[in-house]
Amino acid sequence: MFPKKTIHDVEISGKAVMVRVDFNVPLVDGIIANDYRIRQSLPTIEHLRGKGASKIILISHLGRPKNQFDQKLSLAPVATKLSDLLHLPVKFVGDCVGKEAKEAVANLRSGEIILLENLRFNSSELANDDHFAKQLANMADLFVQDGFGVVHRKQASTEAITKFIPSVAGLLVQKEVNTINRSIESPEKPLVVVIGGAKISDKIDLISHFITRADYVAVVGAIANTFLLAKNIPIGHSLADEASVKVAKDILEAAAERTHKEHFTFYLPHDVVVAKSEAPNSATRVVDLFQHSWSDITAYPRQPEVKAYTIQADEAVFDIGPMSAAAIAGALKLAGTSIWNGTSGMAEVKGINGAADPFGHGSKVLAEAMVGANGNDKNKPFSLVGGGDTTSFVMSQESLAERFSYISTGGGATLELMAGKKLPGIEALLDKKG
């Protein structure tokens, strides 16, 4: 059960309600490339309207501005998109606090919606500043936290604001927490987890957590390179978190210990796709790291050359190889619950030298394995995708996103919740029993 009060537990009618949403969406030349996060906020906004909120004041951040106005990171295009999605006008004001913002909110008519400008144009947001938070709170009667993507941070719009105004959760935050917790605490077995990304230090707790809970854990992406280093396998000039090699060794030992005691698999890529650079026109090849099956087949009836199973000094790993993708896909197809956080390579690179996605093939194989051959099977496993890069990849694949059981809007928040950590932006809300 969700432990905090939500918009179902408080009186809405006649109140000015401030909602912290997560409208941190990708913009290309001022055009929203993906409106998924905006659409996920609609149920909360529509519920507040339906319950008679006198005003709805939306606040959010966008990107990482340097504490000053940046036209490229203005939320103005988001207000326009939200108007289209809601089929009603959404006002916009070019500040989030101060005279202009206060007057714009005060002049709203009953039931109107306004979006304030990017919170992070003001340095006080990231500083979790009380004065800034109080200025926000003074414009409303009730605060609703619905920006799941930021609740793992202590910021003015996630924690400090709750000191000055009654604060509850929105429908998205409630759904995110309940769905993720259920997939971790009471998953349909077997539980298969794929963890990728760049830095192992960002996901130590997550990997360690799943080693004790999951039935199968596959490590892919640049994180896998750190584990390869821990096994004394040369990785060329691949991206790796060299400071965490000792941690990787400890994780390998913990995984091996569990494997000896019970049925559990900790999988590292057996083959990888390498190139000399990440340029779209780079020539790629597959390196067979462990069993040399791929090398043997390719060289048969001769012995494979050492180069076939060795990453050269001028090469880097950019994706898992086809054998590894197939092996992990096989586990995913047998899963009762599958969780994916972190792509298997630089899936955003579109190639022009043969393969259409030279570093995205592994991620595509994994995604398709999670949702099934046609995505229409009512008995297919529960599939959860979390993390910014993974979500972006899934969204970029035609007709793929809707086939997943659940796609989280969070990045760091998803990671920390999966790892069993407390989220400050949720802990600060009113308790259900309070």
The mean pLDDT value for 46-65 works out to: 97
- Whether pLDDT at 108 is above 90: yes
165 or 358, which is more confident: 165
Confidence of residue 389 (pLDDT cuts 50, 70, 90): confident
Residue at 160: amino acid letter: A
Query: Do residues 6 and 169 lie in contact, with contact meaning Cβ atoms separated by under 8 Å?
Result: yes
Catalytic residue among 102, 154, 199, 249: 199
Catalytic residue among 412, 420, 421, 432: 412
- Whether pLDDT at 379 is above 70: no
pLDDT at position 103 is: 97
Give start-end residues of each CATH 3.40.50.1260 domain in the chain. Answer: 16-175+422-427, 189-380
- β-partners of residue 60 are none
282 or 118, which is more confident: 118
Hey, CA dihedral for 327, 330, 334, 338, is it positive or negative? Answer: positive
Q: Is 39 a catalytic residue?
A: no
Characterize 345-368 residue by residue with b for buried, 16 or more Cβ atoms within 10 angstroms of its Cβ, and e for exposed: bbbebebeeeeebbbbbbbbbbbb
Confidence of residue 296 (pLDDT cuts 50, 70, 90): low
Confidence of residue 356 (pLDDT cuts 50, 70, 90): low
Range name among 88-97, 106-115, 303-312, 335-344 with the lowest pLDDT average:
303-312
Among the listed residues 117, 113, 77, the one whose alpha carbon sits nearest the alpha carbon of residue 95:
117
389 or 350, which is more confident: 389
> Per-residue DSSP letters for 136-173?
HHTT-SEEEE--GGGTTS--TTTTGGGGTS-EEE-HHH
Tens-place pLDDT, residues 204-257: 889 999 999 999 999 999 999 999 999 999 999 999 988 899 999 999 999 999
Helix axes 361-371, 388-396, angle to 10 degrees: 80
pLDDT at position 355 is: 58
Range name among 195-199, 354-358, 366-370 with the lowest pLDDT average:
354-358
Beta strand extents in 321-398 (DSSP E only): 337-341, 382-385
Confidence of residue 291 (pLDDT cuts 50, 70, 90): low
Q: Is 364 a catalytic residue?
A: no
Return the structure tokens found at 183: 């997939």
Catalytic residue among 5, 15, 20, 37: 37
- Whether pLDDT at 39 is above 80: yes
Tens-place pLDDT, residues 61-99: 999 998 789 999 999 999 999 999 999 999 999 999 999
Range name among 11-20, 128-137, 284-293 with the lowest pLDDT average:
284-293
Catalytic residue among 149, 345, 386, 388: 388
Contacts 24+ apart (CB under 8 A), 85-92: 85/35, 85/38, 85/39, 85/42, 86/42, 86/45, 86/46, 86/113, 88/113, 89/113, 90/58, 90/114, 90/115, 91/115, 92/117
pLDDT at position 352 is: 59
Percent over 90 (pLDDT), the chain: 73
Q: How far is it, in rounded angstroms, from Cα 38 to Cα 401?
A: 15
pLDDT at position 23 is: 97
- Whether pLDDT at 308 is above 60: yes
Confidence of residue 202 (pLDDT cuts 50, 70, 90): confident
Contacts of 374 (CB under 8 A, 6+ apart): none
pLDDT at position 38 is: 97
* One CATH from 3.40.50.10580, 3.40.50.1260, 3.30.160.40, 3.30.70.20 for 189-380: 3.40.50.1260
Q: How far is it, in rounded angstroms, from Cα 197 to Cα 219?
A: 9
Among the listed residues 146, 91, 81, the one whose alpha carbon sits nearest the alpha carbon of residue 116:
91
CATH architecture of 16-175+422-427: 3-Layer(aba) Sandwich (3.40)
pLDDT at position 154 is: 97
What is the average pLDDT value for the chain, to the nearest integer?
91
Neighbours of 371 (CB within 10 A): 24
- Whether pLDDT at 341 is above 60: yes
pTM of the full predicted structure? 0.89
Range name among 153-167, 185-199, 295-309 with the lowest pLDDT average:
295-309
- Whether pLDDT at 27 is above 80: yes
- Whether pLDDT at 307 is above 80: no
Confidence of residue 167 (pLDDT cuts 50, 70, 90): very high
Q: Is 37 a catalytic residue?
A: yes
Q: Is 412 a catalytic residue?
A: yes
